[in-house]
Amino acid sequence: MLATVVAFGLLACSCSKESTGPDTSNTSGANLNKVAGIYPAPPSGWTGTTNPYNTTGWVGDIMPYYDNGKFHLFFLHDAQTKPAGQGFHAIHKFESTNLLDFSYGGEMIPYGSTTQPDFAIGTGSTVKVGDTYYMYYTGHNGISEFLMSNPRESVLYATSKDLKTWIKNTTFKLTAPPEYYNFDFRDPHVFFNSEKNEYWMLISTQTVHSRKAVVLLYTSANPATNNWTLKGPLYTTTEEERYLMMECADVFKMGNFWYMFFSENWSSNKGTHYRIADSSEGPWRKPAHDMLDGEFFYAAKTETDGAKRYLFGWTARRLPENDNGNKEWAGNMVAHELTQAADGTLGVKVPGTVAAIFKNNLPLQVQKSAGAVTVNANTYQLNGSGAEAFYTFTPVNGTRKIQAKLKADNNTGTTGFIFNANNYPEQGYKIVFEPQRGRVAAYNLTGGNPVEVTRVPFEFKANTEYTIDIVLDGTICVVYIDGKAALSNRIYGMPGRQWGIFGHATQAEFSSLQISSPD
């Protein structure tokens, strides 16, 4: 462990607010706007001007912070139009008291100029010290002229007294120590570690020579002094993992266990992962299934309201906006409620406030079917032992929740749900429970040919009943499996089209099947 004390220029705070980003005269947070939907995205008009950034945007990495009964959900704003020569990814904010109703607070921290370290802004976190809030964030500037005398990435911060008006501290700049890679040095996560009675800062980076992904640890007795001590790696990728970067690290205690979350976007297991330990220092052990959702739920970080802990990530959009488009960075915010087993392993479920609004059960009206299907009230037996059996229902519109108890008689077949099912089986989007492969996967069908989209590990057992909850909102479809895992999806072909259930090479039973809308 290193014992280097890092000093950052002048210790006395010499602060100034920069105005090099878009016009923020209408974004003080005084007039918050309601945002529609369970899975929000920022609305247009946030600048109040004709600036090209005045477009509908998307939610990038989320930096959740809970204070005084309210979630402050800071995020990197990804505008649909990013003019050449201007910066990007200013920090914006949603607010919510219940993770069901959201207000949009507009821009909180603007990006800088071409000559400043935060020409683009990356992920960070918020911590309160005394009566002041500190938001640490990533400064990113890849302009060649800037790189001649500066690292590409650094850690910066801004302060606030009310979580609305933020002032950048232009004298603070933390850069990578010599043995770590200053091209990738980002995502500061700062919190008070009660186990060690000190503040911790986690930073995602790489070693210079071997390019191993590292979560680097700094500590401080008081962030207000701008003194942070480098302690060395808190976690280094293993030879088995070989991760390139472990982004958006988050460490917290829940019950008797400590957890580390991070996201990785370059391996065959893209997505958000977690580790478990008995101490904040580790050692960190990998659970049998270290992902709680698939790759369309990324950069997830957690926050607690003191009673429950939630996992916040974004579900990617596609460009062009159809189910065959390319997966893009940023999308809609999605939140899961964390669950915890006695052995410390984690799961996710629909947040309680969201689940509670679906009180209006809608009729299940069959549209078409194939194969051997038996119906008794809300129980559907699909015998796919020969050919695939399926049932499709009335098109879905608006915000809906599908519920079912699902079991299959063997571990060799597959079963699940179909969306965009008007022309199934030639076209559709399938959520497939694959016991033989130990996972749930999503496939997009074009001409009957399945293309895998996303997947999450899950161990199924034959003749065992599992509770399935599916929340639909716009083009977002989130599938929850028994309070243990989720699979987030972007399905452009879902709204206004049929949905259904299927069984293939198995006898599948969907009992207590229902679809409901908010009351």
According to DSSP, the β-strands at 132-140 and 247-254 are: unpaired
Query: How far apart are alpha carbons 435 and 38 in whole angstroms?
Result: 31
Chain segment 71-120, per-residue pLDDT in tens: 999 999 998 877 788 899 999 999 999 999 999 998 999 999 999 999 99
Average pLDDT for 226-242: 96
Quick check: 124 and 153 in contact, CB under 8 A?
A: no
Question: Across the chain, what does the average pLDDT equal?
Answer: 92
- Supply the pTM of this predicted model: 0.93
Instruction: List 392's β-bridge partners, or say none.
Output: 368, 500
Is the peptide bond between 283 and the residue preceding it cis, with omega within 30 degrees of 0?
Answer: yes
The pLDDT tens digits for 21-55 are: 233 333 333 345 888 899 999 987 665 566 666 66
pLDDT for 45: 67
Q: For residues 202-221, give the mean pLDDT.
A: 97
Tokens of 117: 């370290």
Pairing of strands 180-193, 33-35: unpaired
- Rounded average pLDDT over 362-370: 96
Q: Shortest CA distance to 337 belongs to which of 315, 316, 358, 353?
A: 353
Q: Average the pLDDT over 214-233 and give the result.
A: 98
Report the alpha-carbon distance of residue 159 to residue 141 in Å, rounded. Answer: 21
Give the separation between CA 202 and CA 247, rounded to whole angstroms. Answer: 10
The domain limits of the chain are 53-354, 358-518
Are 325 and 9 in contact by the 8 Å Cβ rule? The answer is no
Q: What does the alpha-carbon distance between residue 40 and residue 89 come to, in Å, rounded to a whole number?
A: 17
Fold annotation for 358-518: Jelly Rolls (2.60.120)
Listed residue (295, 308, 391) closest to 334, CA to CA: 295
Residue 4: pLDDT band by 50, 70, 90 thresholds?
A: very low
Whether a cis peptide bond, with omega within 30° of 0, leads into 425 is yes
Tokens of 464: 């065992």
Which pLDDT belongs to residue 467? 98
Helix or strand or coil: residue 354? helix
* pLDDT given at position 48: 57
d(CA 495, CA 498): 8
Query: Quick one: pLDDT at residue 82?
Result: 79
Mean pLDDT of 463-479: 98
pLDDT confidence bin for 336, thresholds 50/70/90: very high
CA distance 46 to 44: 6
142-177 tens-digit pLDDT? 999 999 999 999 999 999 999 999 999 999 999 999
Query: Contact at 8 Å (CB) between 40 and 102?
Result: yes
Q: Taking 70 as the threshold, does the pLDDT of residue 396 lie above it?
A: yes
| Contact between 506 and 410 (Cβ < 8 Å) | yes
Percent of the chain with pLDDT strictly greater than 70: 92
DSSP string, 90-146: -EEEEEESSSSSEEEEEEEE----TTSTTSEEEEEEEEEETTEEEEEEEEE---HHH
User: Are the C-beta atoms of 132 and 195 separated by less than 8 Å?
Assistant: no
Neighbour tally for 192: CB within 10 Å:
14
Q: With cut-offs at 50, 70 and 90, classify the pLDDT of residue 370.
A: very high
**Which residue, among 389, 374, 368, 424, has the nearest Cα to 503 in the 3D structure?**
389
CATH 3.30.465.10 fits 53-354, yes or no: no
- pLDDT at residue 179 is higher than 60: yes
Q: Is residue 352 pLDDT above 60, yes or no?
A: yes
pLDDT for position 5: 34
> Quick check: 484 and 472 in contact, CB under 8 A?
no
**382 pLDDT above the threshold of 70:** yes
Buried b (16+ CB within 10 A) or exposed e, 132-157: ebbbbbbbbbeeeebeeebbbbbbbb
